[in-house]
């Protein structure tokens, strides 16, 4: 994998809350990149997997919150329309 992509993944991971193991893996990966200019393929794939899991979790959380908000808004509209019909 290209160094730029790995650095981008590492940079992206640093934006998330990480476990101690994830933090250690990232530090190890950065050290290897800086010293040798490359990573073991297994570490690359683990970093990619962690990144995909974190981004998927965030995406699902955001969509869930949006769905809840939309449902509340819809319920409010239905309730408002129902009350308007009763008073009319």
Whether residue 4 has pLDDT greater than 70: yes
Whether residue 87 has pLDDT greater than 80: no
- How far is Cα 25 from Cα 43, in angstroms, rounded to an integer? 8
Q: What are the pLDDT digits (tens) for 6-50?
A: 888 999 999 888 999 999 999 999 998 888 877 788 889 999 999
- How far is Cα 42 from Cα 50, in angstroms, rounded to an integer? 12
- Residue 60, domain extent: 3-87
pLDDT value of residue 27:
93
Q: What are the pLDDT digits (tens) for 58-80?
A: 888 877 878 777 777 766 565 66
- How far is Cα 86 from Cα 88, in angstroms, rounded to an integer? 6
pLDDT value of residue 49:
94
As for how many domains the chain has, the answer is: 1
Q: For residues 72 and 38, is the Cβ–Cβ distance under 8 A?
A: no
């Amino acid at each position: 994998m290209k160094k730029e992509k790995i650095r981008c993944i590492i940079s992206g991971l640093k934006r998330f809350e990480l476990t101690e193991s994830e933090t250690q893996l990232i530090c190890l990966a950065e050290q290897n990149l800086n010293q040798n200019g490359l990573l073991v393929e297994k570490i690359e794939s683990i970093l990619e997997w962690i990144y995909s899991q974190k981004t998927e979790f965030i995406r699902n959380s955001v969509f869930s919150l949006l769905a809840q908000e939309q449902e509340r808004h819809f319920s409010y509209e239905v309730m408002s329309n129902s009350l308007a019909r009763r008073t009319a």
